Amino acid sequence: MGNPSIIIPTKDIGIKDNLSYEEIPIEILGRHVRKLRSKEVALVMVLWRNQFGEEATWEAEKDMKKRYPHHFPSEETPDQGNDFL
């Protein structure tokens, strides 16, 4: 027996025909570098939309920068008029 008060409309979530949807990151909460034997892996803690409560996961920073570059500000600092010509 279903409870209609807890039904979530699928239009709000954006469920596709194959019953899948894309999670969208809301915010980058933190960074961490994991040291393995032969390399270091940069990780970011990501807060996701459409999760119950505030659920965050650790994701590879490299992959997140490829998929969601707008969450990572440019690492280059603009020149502030210090030209010595």
The CATH number of residue 59's host domain is: 2.40.50
Grouped pLDDT means (10 residues each) for the chain, 85 residues: 72 66 83 93 88 79 90 61 45
Half-sphere exposure of 31 (CA within 13 A, CB side): 10
Instruction: Report yes or no: 27 and 1 within 8 Å, Cβ to Cβ.
Output: no
Q: Looking at the domain assignment, is residue 10 inside a domain?
A: no
Q: Looking at the domain assignment, is residue 11 inside a domain?
A: no
**Domain encompassing residue 23:** 19-67
Provide φ and ψ at 22, rounded to 5°. -95, 130
Q: Looking at the domain assignment, is residue 53 inside a domain?
A: yes
Q: What is the pLDDT of residue 45?
A: 92
